[in-house]
């Protein structure tokens, strides 16, 4: 029996979870090598070119960048496919994943250094919260849940979007009292569906348990600023 592909990282990372969800959707077992919540302190980080987390090892292959990794899994394990059958739908699937990266997660991550800043730049925060909200509107326009992002079965778009929506309040709770995932004609019903979809339900539970454990460590360190 061939050794399992190893996936290194943390379930608190939407990029780690993108790869994990792709494997789950394909029915592919991975060897999850779980590191600390702070990827900067992951002892395996030095083994990855450019210090990128997550990364996979498959025999002699070490591969990083989550978008590339999920395409590799698609090529290595072609059935069931996570790309729709026609070219236009495939492009839409890849577009949704790209929107997640550039217009949702990018402004979210730009806010991370401001979480416990002594003096927040209110204009910077407001601008990036607005960018996050704009990204959600773009995604709402892009998805067509039936019930998955683009039809009756999960695609690479779901593997990017579902973990990102779960991850969103981890950061945005520091900048908004609202659940930013609510109030959308397409995106909100999609989130309500995907967070309990059987193929991902156990992973979401593990992600949530990891978040709760990490939050307890933050409370010990920062108290009410956790």
10-residue mean pLDDT series, the chain (226 residues): 88 98 97 90 88 94 96 97 94 97 98 91 96 98 96 97 98 95 98 98 96 91 80
pTM of structure: 0.95
In-domain check, residue 15: yes
Please tell me the predicted confidence (pLDDT) of residue 225: 78
| Residue 45 CB-half CA count within 13 A | 14
71 and 97, same domain (yes or no): no
In-domain check, residue 217: no
In-domain check, residue 9: yes
In-domain check, residue 130: yes
**CATH number of the domain within which 143 lies:** 1.20.1050.10
Please tell me the predicted confidence (pLDDT) of residue 224: 78
100 and 191, same domain (yes or no): yes
131 and 191, same domain (yes or no): yes
Please tell me the predicted confidence (pLDDT) of residue 153: 96
In-domain check, residue 133: yes
Q: Provide CB contacts within 8 A for 19, sequence distance 6+.
A: 7, 9, 30, 54, 56, 66, 69, 70, 73, 159
In-domain check, residue 218: no
In-domain check, residue 201: no
Cis status of the peptide bond prior to 54, with omega within 30 of 0: yes
In-domain check, residue 224: no
Q: Which domain holds residue 17?
A: 5-76
68 and 109, same domain (yes or no): no
| Count of the separate structural domains present in the chain | 2
């Amino acid at each position: 029996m061939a050794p399992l592909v190893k996936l290194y990282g943390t379930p608190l990372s939407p990029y780690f979870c993108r790869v994990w969800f792709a494997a789950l959707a394909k029915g592919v077992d991975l060897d999850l090598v779980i590191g600390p919540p702070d990827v900067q302190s992951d002892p395996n980080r030095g083994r990855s070119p450019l210090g990128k987390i997550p990364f996979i090892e498959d025999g002699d292959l070490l591969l990083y960048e989550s978008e590339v990794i999920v395409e590799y899994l698609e090529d290595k394990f072609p059935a069931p496919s996570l790309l729709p059958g026609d070219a236009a739908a495939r492009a839409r699937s890849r577009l949704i994943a790209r929107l997640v990266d550039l217009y949702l997660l990018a402004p979210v991550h730009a806010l991370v250094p401001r979480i416990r800043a002594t003096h927040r730049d209110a204009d910077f925060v407001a601008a990036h919260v607005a960018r996050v909200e704009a990204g959600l509107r773009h995604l709402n326009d892009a998805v067509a849940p039936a019930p998955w992002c683009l039809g009756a079965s999960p695609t690479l778009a779901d593997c990017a979007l579902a973990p990102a929506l779960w991850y969103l309040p981890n950061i945005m709770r520091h900048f908004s009292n609202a659940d930013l995932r609510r109030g959308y004609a397409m995106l909100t019903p999609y989130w309500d569906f995907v967070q309990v979809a059987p193929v991902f339900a156990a992973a979401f539970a593990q992600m949530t348990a990891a978040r709760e454990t990490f939050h307890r460590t933050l409370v010990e360190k920062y108290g009410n600023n956790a």
